[in-house]
Amino acid sequence: MAGATDVRLVSCPQCGRLTLWNTSNAYRPFCSERCKMVDLGQWATEAYRIAATETDSDQPEGKG
């Protein structure tokens, strides 16, 4: 179990800057609100996508 004095640094997924991973960082895993909002914007504009394979349930009824 991690102690209260353990300091964990992680890279911000948006800009790569090292940032604290603890409850004092309200934007974790991001370093700032800006990086968090840039990431959200990329999801909203579909710059990020999760690959999926088409299944039978993806076909409209009456087809396939």
Does residue 3 form part of some domain? no
Residue 1 has pLDDT above 70, yes or no: no
Q: How far apart are CA 17 and CA 10, in angstroms?
A: 8
Does residue 26 form part of some domain? yes
The CATH number given to whatever domain includes residue 37 is 3.30.50.10
Nearest to 16 by CA among 29, 26, 6: 29
Q: What is the pTM of this model?
A: 0.65
**Which tens digits make up the pLDDT trace of 3-54?**
556 789 999 999 999 999 999 999 999 999 999 999 999 999 989 888 888 7
Quick one: which H or E segment has residue 38?
Answer: helix 33-44
Q: How far apart are CA 21 and CA 11, in angstroms?
A: 9
Burial class (CB in 10 A: 0-12, 13-18, 19+), 27: middle
Q: How many domains does the chain have?
A: 1
Residue, of 13 and 59, whose pLDDT is higher: 13
